[in-house]
Amino acid sequence: MRKSGTWQCALDDRILEVLRTEGLSPPELISREITANVSPRRVRERCRVLAHAGLASPIVDEENAEFFEITGWGELYLDGKVNASLMQPLPRPRPPDKVRPRFWTSLV
């Protein structure tokens, strides 16, 4: 039995299952393989969340097309050997040019 995290949605399991069977895949292929009506944009978004949690890995080719593959942790999760609630997805830090200066917050 899989141990899902509170941050996961039902689509995440389906994405990981497709990545396990198909291997390296773009979001467009994954959305076609999933029987539910899911857009490639939504699949790409969830794949990035899974990548931040360590369950999937993004690969960018020369044309900047994103592909994703399942990681070892993703395989263990599908086998029910890893508790996904312990693997919180950590977003990348904001670049310095996207952070507001401290004086804007009036906490200085």
pLDDT in tens, 41-99: 999 999 999 998 999 999 987 666 789 999 999 999 999 999 888 887 776 666 666 66
Predicted pLDDT at 97: 63
Residues 6+ apart with CB under 8 A from 56: 15, 16, 19, 47, 50, 68, 69, 70, 71, 74
Residues 6+ apart with CB under 8 A from 83: 3, 5
pTM of the model: 0.79
Predicted pLDDT at 39: 92
CB 77 within 8 A of CB 50: no
| Per-residue pLDDT tens digits for 9-36 | 989 999 999 999 999 999 999 999 997 7
Which domains are seen in the chain, by residue range? Answer: 10-105 (1.10.10.10)
